[in-house]
Structure 1
């Protein structure tokens, strides 16, 4: 039975320009420059930015959202997702599911070539997914495949995955890419099947991709010849590069909007991103619920949204953005921790900290929004006696020390949203390898276990909504906002399209002439 087409993240349409929660005013997908009505041009180079170094060029070893957003142009899995969150065929053309929900059988495309000109075969597909799942006899590279017990080729273009139990999130795992079997230079010269091929990576400078003229899917053939992602973190440098014509488009902060809106097309939209002030539950005093609640009461999120991002943010109360739509638990009517300094002080006194305490926040130095937010947090927490020392650390160090190692007291980061709710909320499960909050909660663990096996969509949504409520009740962290992405583009550059998961889709970009 045909399954592609319909699994959509309801209300992903909230990604449309101009979110109603944007208290800073809506940016329209328009410009004050005289409207351009000319025809689409084929060709051209687009120069844009990415805010961090890639964490790894091998897609099976990469975890950073910024890296995936760029390299999703190079790599493809059996399925892909569109701008509304719907799953669509990619390297597979169709699939069937067994009556017991334990076997997924895929028809694999036979007209695909890798960027080195070699045909993609069943051996490459088997190699890729066995490598990810650990069914090659080595350490699994992804926990997403833990329910997969076997991957077998029925013939040269038919593949079956067998699961140990029903896994409602399984389709979303197959966005993970297929790479050439036993190719040994994936970490330096990555090769995929996508609409763009890798040209170069210059550390601290840029990643360059070029159009794949041999791309098999002519309906998604790119218009532009090349795209250069410049690794830039300094807002003033980005602003100058845009105004000088050295950049064609870039993500900017709200403070740059007045200087750009006359000459550039400006768009804004929520990202399905959660900015989180994380607290390490293994470190005193954050193992005390009262302390975590006190910190939540001491934070004025509206002030952060207005002061740090100019109002371009949606206030959050748990680890979910409204962009999650169908899965989202809207806690705004009964805000769990409204700003209340007296309540915060009382809770700290009850926990044995009447005079507060001193702690350190580790902030990745390449994200100005997080740096600015940390400074505001420090000022706010000072009002209840908590001294928050800010420690700026390099992005790679943050990934190793905090994300992978869980070695910190507090931190601030943006957690990218996922297409399936399990991928978002499994991050807090006790046994999850990168549960850097160190939450250990049996009730929560059981909800996540139930959610992954529940195939009834309404019942499954209720489970994840309960998980969101528990994260709020336990004050696991301070969930601040979904900071809206603001994009500035030259008036003759069109087509930038937001997605509910990390993806800078270069196939959509095109220039128009005068």
Structure 2
């Protein structure tokens, strides 16, 4: 139910910075008059992918590139500004009185790149193919079933009343033509066919991909003709490419690189809140039966120190257990204790902690600086901890095996709501060895079956109150996500920084 979530930078390359539109000049060189020239509008983008496109089969989520997929293929729905779900291949949808059943009306006369017409059979086939992938097994906790109703209608049933099925579809679901894919996966991966804004042209030996605009795109012909997608580059290298004029858009920009972009008048820098919260989880046996030790650690964590040390002062002090976007309408309903060194010392005096207690914060490189800040905070109140840094794979192996005392994770994605975030401590193996109280567990279980949104919200408030009082989830700080782009283009919503999704068919010359 809970997903763990690593942000990867995405970048777009292209022509040097030039003013778009018509520019007329007249000059004289060695007595020769140079005729007025008209500068052509920008017509190429080169984009660094989310990951190297080892395959162009969109259902192979471990080795296909998200950036590439969103240009070639469409889903039923898509992300609009602010994270609002908007129509895609589905022109509209309704949620039934049961609170579980979505009915989608599919656009008519949508064409695949090979000229074939999209059908509801293609959509059902694509859902079948997506759900059959072993790495997508977790989707069963969101999608219970789906059926074709008729030539323009399909239904999808949510696995729980609160499941963010629309978000899952917007992020992970791609529609392919059944006749071109079924039994022909290798051939399809060499020449992918979708309904998207761009059509496949070729893939080079270095895995870069060339696309050309789909003139028959149902949302309208893209303004920019050619897209080139290359393998990701290191973040600081992407900033250099952007500044030099080789890159159009990048995101996931290191804080240390921010001023390079903001000081450049040819570039636009955007920051936006996402769904993530850097969170300290208290997991080990030392914490299981010692509420006062959990309190002491929680009160000792100073978010302002973490923001300064780990993120050069960029981020927000938490006011909720989860991020503001994740909390939605429940933001501000349940206060969190926050930093209080006096309360920490008082709780520590009542705890079972001694100088013989061995506490370890285990993190990967992405959270190392946050761990150092927390280590310093805890030392200030008399709690000694050591930091164990592992590579990401080993960290999550130990986490899933319930082998950690403490860890720091970026909790939350655009596919999770507050209900799912509340539920992870009772959902092995994603509970990571946490020990919520029986009362908290019962409320969470009731949330999972409650269909009335008002009653479910009230239950969520109760569960939040229990979670805050049990001090096992410690919000450290709420990061902001960012992107930057050259002023030669426009049509890039800020929400792309938080979702890692770009719809390049919407990008236009400035």
When normalised by structure 1's length, the TM-score is 0.73
Structure 2 vs 1, CA of residues 179 and 407 (structure 1 numbering), >3 Å: closer, same or farther?
A: farther
Residue of 292, 295, 307 corresponding to 2:309: 307
Q: What is the aligned partner in structure 2 of residue 44 from structure 1?
A: 44
Q: What is the aligned partner in structure 2 of residue 4 from structure 1?
A: none
Q: What is the aligned partner in structure 1 of residue 35 from structure 2?
A: none
What is the rounded CA distance, in whole Å, between the counterparts of 1:59 and 1:436 in structure 2? 31
Count residues in correspondence: 463
Structure 2 vs 1, CA of residues 272 and 160 (structure 1 numbering), >3 Å: closer, same or farther?
A: closer
Q: What is the aligned partner in structure 2 of residue 479 from structure 1?
A: 475
Q: What is the aligned partner in structure 1 of residue 255 from structure 2?
A: 254
Q: What is the aligned partner in structure 1 of residue 494 from structure 2?
A: 498
Structure 2 vs 1, CA of residues 184 and 403 (structure 1 numbering), >3 Å: closer, same or farther?
A: farther
Pick which of 138-147 and 83-92 moved more: 138-147
Deviation at 1:38, TM superposition (A): 4.7
Conserved 8 A contact 2:213-2:221:
no
Deviation at 1:246, TM superposition (A): 4.2
Structure 1 residue ranges without an equivalent (≥5): 1-33
Pick which of 206-215 and 99-108 moved more: 206-215
What is the rounded CA distance, in whole Å, between the counterparts of 2:54 and 2:423 in structure 1? 19
Pick which of 116-125 and 152-161 moved more: 116-125
Deviation at 1:391, TM superposition (A): 0.9
Deviations 1:387-433, CA, capped at 9 Å, x for gaps? 2223141x4555x5267655544332323433662564255152355
Listed as ranges, the matches of 1:374-393 within 5 Å are: 374-383=371-380, 384-393=382-391
Deviation at 1:300, TM superposition (A): 0.9
Deviation at 1:92, TM superposition (A): 2.1
What is the rounded CA distance, in whole Å, between the counterparts of 1:289 and 1:70 in structure 2? 48
What is the rounded CA distance, in whole Å, between the counterparts of 1:165 and 1:260 in structure 2? 44
Pick which of 190-199 and 305-314 moved more: 190-199
Deviations 1:436-479, CA, capped at 9 Å, x for gaps? 46454444444444445545544443333333333322222221
Structure 2 vs 1, CA of residues 199 and 317 (structure 1 numbering), >3 Å: closer, same or farther?
A: farther
Listed as ranges, the matches of 1:55-454 within 5 Å are: 62=61, 71-101=69-99, 103-114=101-112, 119-131=117-129, 141-146=136-141, 150-161=145-156, 169-175=164-170, 176-180=172-176, 181=178, 182=182, 184-185=185-186, 192-196=194-198, 208=209, 210-213=211-214, 216-219=217-220, 221=222, 223=224, 225-226=226-227, 228=229, 230-233=231-234, 235=236, 237-251=237-251, 252-263=253-264, 264-279=267-282, 281=283, 283-287=284-288, 288-324=290-326, 326-330=328-332, 335-340=336-341, 342-355=342-355, 357-365=357-365, 367=366, 370-383=367-380, 384-393=382-391, 395-398=392-395, 401=397, 407-418=403-414, 421=417, 424-425=420-421, 428-431=424-427, 433-436=429-432, 438-454=434-450
When normalised by structure 2's length, the TM-score is 0.73
What is the rounded CA distance, in whole Å, between the counterparts of 2:130 and 2:119 in structure 1? 17
More helix by percentage: 2
Structure 2 vs 1, CA of residues 67 and 302 (structure 1 numbering), >3 Å: closer, same or farther?
A: farther
Deviation at 1:301, TM superposition (A): 0.4
Deviations 1:129-150, CA, capped at 9 Å, x for gaps? 345557xxx9793444447654
Root mean square deviation, CA, Å: 4.3
What is the rounded CA distance, in whole Å, between the counterparts of 1:187 and 1:374 in structure 2? 45
What is the rounded CA distance, in whole Å, between the counterparts of 1:55 and 1:441 in structure 2? 45
Indicate whether 1:489 and 2:492 are aligned: no
Structure 2 vs 1, CA of residues 404 and 354 (structure 1 numbering), >3 Å: closer, same or farther?
A: closer
Structure 2 vs 1, CA of residues 38 and 314 (structure 1 numbering), >3 Å: closer, same or farther?
A: farther
Q: What is the aligned partner in structure 1 of residue 25 from structure 2?
A: none
Deviations 1:67-106, CA, capped at 9 Å, x for gaps? 7577544543322231133332222233445544554433
Pick which of 448-457 and 492-501 moved more: 448-457
Deviation at 1:55, TM superposition (A): 11
Q: What is the aligned partner in structure 2 of residue 6 from structure 1?
A: none
